[in-house]
């Protein structure tokens, strides 16, 4: 698999239908594991990092499903960025040093990073609210790998991780939510408060450290010790997320009923700017695309398919733009090229 | 609803007090409530926790005169001082070497939990796996009883009985 080949297409799974996909964009489950007998990242020499790669890569490539291996240390910086924009590797893996890699499923709905913060981080993705399916997949792969290697495990603390915040199950469950209704009706603070009460973290669309832009929020668990994997998942799928979906739906309904002109104005202006801008930053584009996405889902915009918007989320990002242009672009050139890509995608004809 | 104090943020903390039959209501945002000591931040950032990790340690006593923060793991050389800066441990053994120091941190980041429950590697073997699950269930039972959640407690007791 060549990273450059990915840039012209969106992630294959993102446009498949998923439950509640108009609000829950995607689901992700990640497991963190470390090899027994090996130091954690801060104390690993390059030699030991190579040994870990030599143990884990063949284990991953001999699974019952085909994975493609990419040597993250060797590829170009822009290719690393591209993989991160597609959620196949983390920003930390982009910035990382030394021998490290990633094994990726062809559909891009599974990836396993080697030598990130932990020796092995496996993650499965699905569109809409499908955390159970993600857990099953990643768990089944974990079972297969465990037949070949020994993971660091402690009878009291469970799976040992480099950072104590991932200790125990090593599970991180997250959903990407689109909540423009709650934002526009001034109820988004309730969502933050509820997340806090449930010990959940809210982040921007691009993970750790990213700001929330365009009403996209990533919600994830923080407690990984003392709660079984299935319980973390069922908390999300049965209790937390359905409530949020219900409130967001109600908020959208309120908007349509109580201030249809205000909503229409906002949505149509957003579409107008996207269709006509000659320079646009990724931040502005995300904010406007968020409004257009809302317009499509509440039946105020008919001629645009939601898949077009989903695709743009990938294509308007810096590495995707540069790969598509076939050369490196400075920020001004990117704003210009981004506007061009968006105009083409959303043109009425 | 606006925060009564800063008149800027949305009020998320609503306090009703009844003193001598008089009812007063206070509506504050999270930040102002925290300043007035009315609310606690439920999730403490890891960095803050780590900075208290060293300061809160009791002085080393007796034969071992090495300061806590300089004590190093014999296997990887990690010290608490380095850990508190980098937030990552050096090797699996650190969890035993620094267990006492890490325990309060683990407890606070995991909602009071200090024992694993969930998946165990197949290498662990069925008997040890059972013991791990039992320990976790007993701990949950304790919590349920303490919080007077008797329905949950009954369910847990059944689970324990089935496992034994």
Question: DSSP alpha helices (H): ranges in A259-330?
Answer: 260-276, 282-297, 306-315, 318-325
- For residue A27, the number of C-alpha atoms closer than 13 Å in the C-beta half-sphere is 25
CATH number for the domain spanning A161: value is 3.30.590.10
Using a CB-CB cut-off of 8 Å, the residues of chain B touching A190 are 12
- Domain that residue A88 falls in: 3-252
Give A 211-250 residues with CB within 8 A of chain B.
Answer: 222-231
| Residues A107 and A35 both lie in one domain | yes
pTM: 0.85
Residues A198 and A318 in one domain: no
Q: How much is the average pLDDT of B46-61? A: 59
Residues of B in contact with A231 (CB under 8 A): 118
Domain boundary pick from A252, A272, A304: A252
| Same-domain check for residues A22 and A103 | yes
Domain check: are A223 and A336 in the same one? no
Strand order in the sheet with A110-114: A67-71, A101-105, A110-114, A120-127, A24-33, A171-178, A216-221, A200-203
Same domain for A179 and A263, yes or no, is: no
Q: Does B59 have pLDDT greater than 60?
A: no
Residue B43 above 70 pLDDT?
A: no
With beta carbons under 8 A apart, name residues in chain A contacting B95: 154, 157, 160
Range of weakest confidence among A8-17, B24-33, B43-52: B43-52
For residues A160 and A304, state if they share a domain.
Answer: no
- Using the Cβ of A117 and the Cβ atoms of chain B, whether some distance falls under 8 Å is answered with yes
Nearest to B116 among A139, A151, A226 (CB): A226
Of B66, B87, B91, the residue nearest A152 (C-alpha): B91
What distance, in Å, lies between the first and last C-alpha atoms of chain A? 34
Domain ranges of chain B: 1-42, 46-109, 126-163
State the pLDDT at residue B46: 64
Same domain, A200 and A325: no
| Structure tokens belonging to residue A299 | 């039946």
Q: Which pairs count as long-range contacts for A20-24, CB under 8 Å and 24+ apart, including other chains? A: A20/A128, A20/A129, A20/A241, A20/A245, A21/A127, A21/A128, A22/A178, A22/A297, A22/A306, A23/A177, A23/A178, A23/A179, A23/A244, A23/A245, A23/A248, A23/A249, A24/A128, A24/A129, A24/A175, A24/A176, A24/A177, A24/A178, A24/A241, A24/A245
Query: Which residues from A are below 8 Å from B96, CB to CB?
Result: 154
Task: Please provide the DSSP assignment of B45-92 as one string.
Answer: -HHHHHHHHHHTSPPP-TT--S-GGG-B-TTT--BHHHHHHH---SST
More confident call, A1 vs B18: A1
Work out the burial of residue B127: count CB atoms within 10 Å of its CB; fewer than 13 is exposed, 13-18 middle, 19 or more buried.
Answer: exposed
In chain A, the DSSP E strands lie at 24-33, 67-71, 101-105, 110-114, 120-127, 153-154, 158-159, 171-178, 200-203, 216-221
Neighboring chain A residues of B46 at a CB cutoff of 8 Å: 163, 165
Task: Tell me what the mean pLDDT of segment B116-145 comes to.
Answer: 82
pLDDT at B130: 83
% of chain B at pLDDT higher than 90: 23
pLDDT band at B47 (very low <50, low <70, confident <90, very high): low
* Sequence-distant (≥ 6) Cβ neighbours of residue A225 within 8 angstroms: A157, A158, A167, A168, A169, B106, B110, B113, B114, B115, B116
Last residue of a domain, one of A215, A237, A252: A252
Per the CB < 8 A criterion, the answer to whether B46 and B109 are in contact is yes
Nearest CA in chain B to A165: B109
CA distance A100 to A160: 20
Do B89 and A163 count as a contact with CB atoms less than 8 A apart? yes
Nearest CA in chain B to A194: B12
Phi/psi-derived region of residue A267, left when phi > 0, alpha when psi is between -120 and 50, beta in every other case: alpha
User: Distance from CA of residue A335 to its chain's centroid?
Assistant: 23
CB environment B146-163: b (16+ within 10 A), e (fewer):
eeeeeeebeebeeeeeee
Using CB atoms, which residue from A155, A196, A226 is nearest to B113? A226
- Confidence (pLDDT) at B62: 47
Nearest CB partner across the interface for A225, out of B106, B124, B132: B106
Window A:149-188, CB contacts with B under 8 Å = 150-160, 162-165, 167-169, 171, 186
Q: Do B110 and A157 touch (CB under 8 A)?
A: no
Same domain, A134 and A264: no
Distance CA B109, CA B94 (A): 18
Distance CA B111, CA B140 (A): 12
Residues A58, A131, single domain; the answer is: yes
- Same structural domain, A195 and A92: yes
CA dist A262 to A247, A256, A269, A283, Å?
A: 20, 9, 11, 22
Interface of A with B in 118-147 (CB under 8 A): 139, 142-143, 146-147
Cα nearest neighbour of B99 on chain A? A157
User: What pLDDT score does B60 carry?
Assistant: 46
Question: Does one domain contain both A188 and A305?
Answer: no
Place of tokens 């990242």: A41
What does the pLDDT read at residue A11?
Answer: 84
A15 and A160 in a single domain? The answer is: yes
Inspect the interface and report whether the beta carbons of A43 and B77 lie closer than 8 Å.
Answer: yes
Which residues in A lie closer than 8 A to residue B43 (C-beta atoms)? 196, 199, 201, 222
**Closest residue on chain B to A142 (Cα):** B121
Chain B interface mutation, best of A44, A168, A231, highest count of B Cβ atoms under 10 Å: A168
Nearest to B91 among A40, A139, A229 (CB): A40
Which residues of chain A neighbour B118 with C-beta distances below 8 Å?
158, 168-169, 171, 227-231
Which residues from chain A sit within 8 angstroms of residue B78, using beta carbons? 42-43
Complex ipTM, two decimals? 0.89
What is the structure's pLDDT at A146? 95
User: What's the whole-number mean pLDDT along residues B3-23?
Assistant: 73
pLDDT tens string for chain A (349 positions)?
A: 778 778 878 888 888 889 999 999 999 999 999 999 999 999 999 999 999 999 999 999 999 999 999 999 999 999 999 999 999 999 999 999 999 999 999 999 999 999 999 999 999 999 999 999 999 999 999 999 999 999 999 988 999 999 999 999 999 999 999 999 999 998 988 888 888 888 898 887 765 555 567 899 999 999 999 889 999 999 899 889 999 999 999 999 999 999 999 999 999 999 999 999 999 998 899 999 999 999 999 999 999 998 899 889 889 999 999 999 999 999 999 999 999 999 999 998 7
Last residue of a domain, one of A228, A252, A276: A252
Question: Regarding beta strands A171-178 and A200-203, do their DSSP bridges make them parallel or antiparallel, or are they unpaired?
Answer: unpaired
Q: Would the CB atoms of B12 and A229 count as touching at under 8 Å?
A: no
Please enumerate in sequence order all residues whose Cβ is within 8 A of that of A100, keeping only pairs 6 or more positions apart, or say none. Answer: A49, A53, A72, A73, A93, A113, A114, A115, A116
Contact A42 B88 (CB under 8 A): yes
Domain count, chain A: 2
């Amino acid at each position: 698999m060549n990273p450059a080949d990915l840039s012209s297409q969106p992630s294959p799974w993102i446009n498949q239908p998923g439950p509640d996909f108009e609000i829950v964009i995607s689901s992700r489950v990640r497991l963190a594991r470390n090899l027994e007998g090996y130091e954690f990242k801060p104390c690993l020499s390059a030699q030991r990092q190579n040994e870990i790669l030599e143990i884990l890569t063949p284990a991953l490539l001999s699974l019952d499903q085909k994975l493609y291996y990419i040597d993250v240390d060797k590829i170009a910086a822009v290719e690393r960025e591209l993989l991160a924009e597609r959620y196949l590797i983390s920003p930390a893996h982009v910035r990382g040093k030394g021998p490290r890699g990633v094994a990726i499923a062809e559909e891009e709905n599974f990836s396993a990073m080697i030598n990130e913060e932990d020796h092995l981080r496996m993650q499965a993705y699905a569109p809409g609210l499908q955390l159970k399916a993600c857990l099953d997949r990643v768990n089944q792969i974990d079972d297969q790998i465990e037949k070949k290697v020994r993971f660091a495990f402690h009878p009291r603390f469970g799976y040992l991780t480099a950072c104590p915040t991932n200790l125990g199950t090593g599970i991180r469950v997250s959903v990407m939510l689109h909540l423009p209704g709650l934002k526009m009706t001034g109820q988004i603070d309730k969502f933050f408060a509820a997340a806090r009460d449930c010990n959940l973290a809210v982040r921007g669309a691009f993970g750790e450290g990213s700001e929330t832009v365009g009403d996209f929020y990533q919600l994830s668990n923080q407690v990984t010790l003392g709660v079984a994997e299935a319980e973390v998942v069922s908390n999300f799928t049965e209790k937390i997320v359905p409530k949020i979906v219900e409130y967001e739906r109600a908020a959208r309904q309120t908007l349509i009923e109580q201030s249809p002109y205000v909503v229409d104005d906002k949505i149509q202006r957003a579409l107008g700017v996207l269709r006509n801008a000659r320079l646009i930053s990724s931040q502005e584009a995300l904010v406007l695309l968020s409004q257009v996405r809302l317009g499509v889902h509440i039946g105020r915009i008919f001629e645009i398919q939601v898949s077009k918007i989903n695709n743009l989320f990938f294509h308007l990002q810096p590495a995707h733009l540069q790969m598509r242009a076939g050369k490196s672009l400075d920020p001004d050139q990117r704003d210009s090229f981004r506007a061009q890509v968006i105009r083409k995608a959303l043109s009425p004809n | 609803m606006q925060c009564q104090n800063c008149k800027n943020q949305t009020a998320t903390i609503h306090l009703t007090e009844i003193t001598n039959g008089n009812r007063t209501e206070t509506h504050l945002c999270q930040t102002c409530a925290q300043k007035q000591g009315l609310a606690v931040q439920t999730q403490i950032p890891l960095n803050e926790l780590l900075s208290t990790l060293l300061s809160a340690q009791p002085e080393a006593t007796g034969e071992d005169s090495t300061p806590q923060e300089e004590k190093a793991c014999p296997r990887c050389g990690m010290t608490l001082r380095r850990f508190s800066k980098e937030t990552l441990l050096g090797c699996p053994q650190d969890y035993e070497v620094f267990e006492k120091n890490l325990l309060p941190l683990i407890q606070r980041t995991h909602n009071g939990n200090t024992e694993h429950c969930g998946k165990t590697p197949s290498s662990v073997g069925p008997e040890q796996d059972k013991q791990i699950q039992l320990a976790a269930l007993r701990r949950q039972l304790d919590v349920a009883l303490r919080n007077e959640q008797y329905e949950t407690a009954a369910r847990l007791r059944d689970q324990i009985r089935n496992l034994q």
